[in-house]
Amino acid sequence: MTDRPNILFVVIDQLRADCLTGALADHVDLPNLQALRADAVTFLNHYSVCNPCGPSRASILTGQYAMNHGSVRNGTPLPHDTPTLGTEARRAGYRPMLFGYTDIARDPRQHHPNDPDIHTYEAVAAGFDELVEMRLDESFPWRAYLKSKDYDLPDYSLFYAPQGSDPCDPAFYRAEDSDTAFLTDCVLRDLAVRPPGWFAQVTYIRPHPPFVAPEPYNRMYDPASLPRPESVSVEHPFLDATRQSKTAASCVQGLPDLPDSEETTAKLRALYLGLASEVDHHVGRLLSFLKDTGQFDDTMIVITADHGETLGDQGCWGKSSYLNSAFHTPLIIRDPRKPNGHGRDVVQPTESIDLTPTILSRIGVMPPDTMDGRDLGVFLDGDVPTDWRSHSFSELDFGDPIEATNVQVSLGLGASEANLAILRDGTHSLVHFNGGLPAILFDHTDEGEARNIADDPQSAEKMLMLSQSMLDHRMSNPGGRFAQTMVSAAGVKTAPRHASGDKTSLNVAKVLRESASL
C-alpha cells in the first residue's frame, strides 16, 4: 500500500439508488457493484443536491450547492474561477484524467464568441484532461471506432434507435462495441501503462436515455416480471406539467408514436435495468484490472451516479422532478487504508457535494472554503460523527431564461420563479416551490410520495419546522469565496472552513481574536 493512492472515480449517469439497495435491487443483476459493497462502505441515504446532468456534475465537482455555484441548468455557465476537484487535485501533483464527460458550460467571459467551448453545454470542467471524449452530442472517438469496424453508421439522430418497431429491439452495434464497452476499453488501455499515482474519472452515459441496448442486454429482463412504478395519485400543477412535457416516447429514438401504456413503461424499465447490468459488467472489468495488476489496495474507489431517473414513477420520466427516484443515488467508497469500515452501510444523510471534499482529504488537500460538502472519511473509518447533518437538501431549476420550457409556460412562470427546493429529514420530505405554487409534504413512515399531507391540519407543525429548517439551511450555507475571510488592521485572516475535519464551520471572529493576540 502506497502513500500516494490512485483515484478511480466512476460516475454512472442516471442510476437510481434502488437498483443497488431498494425496490429494484432484487430484479436487476449487478454482481460487481454488490460484491464491492462487502469490501467498501455503502451510503444508503445519498442524494444529488440538484438536477439535471450539468448542474448535478457542477455540484459534485465543486462541492457546492447549486444556489452557490449558480450553474443551475444545462448550459448555464460555471464561473471560471470556481475551484473544482480537478483544479484542487493538481495541488497534490495529480493530473486528473477524464474518460467521458462533465457537462460543464464554460464561462463566456474567458472565451472568444467563436470558441467551440462556448457552443456546447458539454465542455470539460477546469482541471481535467479529456483523454476520451464521450459527450452525448458528439462521441466522435466511439463513432470513428465503429466506422473502423465496418458498421454502416446511421445518421447520428438515430444512433440510439432500436433496429425494429419494438423498443426492446437491439441497437445496431454489438455489445462488445457499445459505448460502454468502448469507454472501458480506452480506460484499461491507458491505465495499463500509467505509473502509480494516477487519477481517473470515468463517466458512463448508461443507463441514461435514449433507451436502447445491444444484445443480450436488450432482453435480459422480462418486463412482466418487474415491479410497477409508483402509481399516479398526487395532484399538483407541477406534476401535471412535467407529465405532459416528457413522455415515454421521448426516452426512445425513432419511435415517436410509442404509446404511453403500461406495456411501454414495463419495457422501458426492463431496458433501463439491462443497461445498468451492462455498466456493472464493465465496472467489473475495471475492478478486475486493479486486482490483476496489484493496484486494488493502492486505489481509492468511488462509485456513484450524478442523479436518478423517475422511470415512470407517478407518470414521470427523466430527472426533472421532485421525486426521490430522481435524486436518490447510489454511493460506494472503498478506501484501502480504512478496512474498519469495509462492509458497512451508512444510514446518515449524505449529499453529492461530499464527494470532492472526501477525495481531496484523502490525497492530502484541504478543501477550499468555497466547498459546502463535508469529508466522509469518518464514516470510512467505521465511526459516526456526533455533529453530522440531520437532513439532505436538493434543488431543481426547470425554467430557461432564453427559451421558456414547456413546464415553465404551462405554469406561467418566469425563469427566476421556475424552481423548487427539497428538504428531507429522517421521516418527511418538504418540497417548496417558487412562483406561488403550493408546497408538498410527504410522510415516509406512512404513505410516502403516494400522498401529499401538506394541507392536513395535523401536519401544520411539521410544515413549519421543515420550512424553518430549509431557511436555516440556506442561511447557514452562504455563497462567496471570502465567507470565511476577514480584512482587519492585522491584515487578512481566514478561518478555514474544512480545517477541523468534521466541523462544518469555524468562528471567524474567534480566530481573528486569537491571531491578534499572538
Name the residues annotated as catalytic: 53
Report the sign of the C-alpha dihedral through residues 94, 99, 104, 109, in that order: positive
Contact, 354 vs 376, CB < 8 A? yes
What is the distance between the alpha carbons of residues 318 and 484, in angstroms, rounded to a whole number? 38
Burial pattern 257-283, b for ≥16 Cβ within 10 A else e, equals: ebeeeeebbbbbbbbbbbbbbbbbbbb
Contact, 182 vs 214, CB < 8 A? no
C-alpha cell of residue 236: 399538483
Q: Which of 271, 254, 226 is nearest to 14 (CA)?
A: 271
- In the block, cell 444508503 appears at 44
What is the distance between the alpha carbons of residues 298 and 319, in angstroms, rounded to a whole number? 35
What is the distance between the alpha carbons of residues 339 and 333, in angstroms, rounded to a whole number? 11
Adjacent-strand bridge partners of 423: 393, 430
Q: How many CB atoms lie within 10 A of CB 93?
A: 12
What is the distance between the alpha carbons of residues 51 and 325, in angstroms, rounded to a whole number? 12
What is the distance between the alpha carbons of residues 57 and 397, in angstroms, rounded to a whole number? 14
